[in-house]
Amino acid sequence: MKNWLTLILGLPTANATERMRAWRALKAAGAAVLRDGAYLLPDTRICREALTAVERDILAINGTAYILPVVDPDGERFTELFDRSDDYSKLRVEIEECRGQLNAENALATTKQIRKLRKAYDQLANIDYFPGKSKQQVDLALQEFETAVSRALSADEPHSRDLPIAALSLGDYQGRVWATRKRPWVDRLACAWLIRRFIDPQARILWLNSPQDCPADALGFDFDEATFSHVGNRVTFETLQASFDLQEPGMDRIAALVHFLDIGGIQPVEAAGIERVLAGLRETITHDDHLLAAASAIFDGLLAEFVKEEQPNE
């Protein structure tokens, strides 16, 4: 980085409030302190806008402020001032401490901690102008923690089977009883929505206290030895999708979201928000049929938006 911007400012000594406001704005922008009243940022559009906003506020209260260009021919003189390694290390320690306390009983409450940690990470990443391994390590630790929470919310997650997936006819699976474990989480909620929306509109969903309670004539899903469950790297939603060859627009994006929230992997941009909404629903709705109804509205909305995004612009 050879081109930089420096803000030289002076504030009336009696105006402590405005001084603190300017300091907070510069800190939020990730500005480096060269000396008292002199701050530095890379010369980018976003950084220029941040400095211009501070300059405008200072001039409005009769202070002094100058934004000046600075050129570093070598391109390395100032980069060490923006090293975020210590900040990432502190955040990683906090993530590891929270993960160490995770169990099935506090998993739902832990989703709130994850949201705070994710917000802290995003704020840090936004001012990490020269990202390196520290950023990657914390991002990975946070994704693994999010996956661990999802698994804790569904502690009896089925084991994957390495079996071929047979092609099935929708006509053979109408008006059936479909059964899965009670207090469903992402994969089971998404599967039940998929069944009623695209496979068996008249399906009756039975919520089981344990997989052993599954009636002989019911189609079990998302538990060990169920008719439909994890196969290879597929979660149950993906197994159902492949079994019935469901290729509706937007469906693959729903599948990718469910896959990540259930077993991890590549994180879709919608994942954190959807997990937050579903966790809130699960916490406040105790009746599984009502929970499914609420979650189904979420999946309906997601699918509609995904379809819209996939349509070519007219």
Asked if 251 and 303 count as a contact pair (C-beta separation under 8 A), the reply is: yes
Residue 180 has phi, psi (to 5 degrees) of: -150, 175
Q: Looking at the structure, do residues 18 and 100 belong to the same domain, yes or no?
A: no
Residue 223 burial (10 A CB sphere; 0-12, 13-18, 19+): buried
Contacts of residues 164-169 at CB distance under 8 Å and 24 or more positions apart, as own/partner, are 165/231, 165/234, 165/239, 165/242, 165/243, 166/243, 167/243, 167/245, 168/243, 168/244
Among the listed ranges 73-87, 110-124, 154-168, 180-194, which one has the minimum average pLDDT value? 154-168
Q: Looking at the structure, do residues 180 and 267 belong to the same domain, yes or no?
A: yes
292 is a domain residue: yes
The helix, strand and coil proportions of the chain, stated in percent and rounded to the nearest 5, come to 55, 15, 35
Average pLDDT over residues 241-253: 95
pLDDT digits (tens, 9 = 90+) for 124-158: 999 999 999 999 999 999 888 887 887 787 767 78
163 is a domain residue: no
Tell me which of 57, 81, 105 is where a domain ends: 81
Look up the pTM and report it. Answer: 0.63
Residue 104 banded pLDDT, cuts 50, 70, 90: confident
**Strands 177-181 and 204-208, bridge-based pairing:** parallel
Q: Looking at the structure, do residues 140 and 15 belong to the same domain, yes or no?
A: no
* DSSP at 174: S
State the amino acid at position 111 in one-letter form: T
* Edge-to-edge strand ranges of the sheet holding 32-35: 32-35, 38-42, 3-10, 64-71
Range of the domain at 296: 170-310
Residues found in the chain: 314
Largest CA distance in the chain: 81
Q: Looking at the structure, do residues 11 and 111 belong to the same domain, yes or no?
A: no
Is the model's pLDDT at 250 over the cut of 90?
Answer: yes
201 is a domain residue: yes
Tell me which of 81, 103, 123 is where a domain ends: 81
Domain count, the chain: 3
Integer-rounded Cα radius of gyration of the chain: 26
pLDDT digits (tens, 9 = 90+) for 25-42: 999 999 999 998 899 999
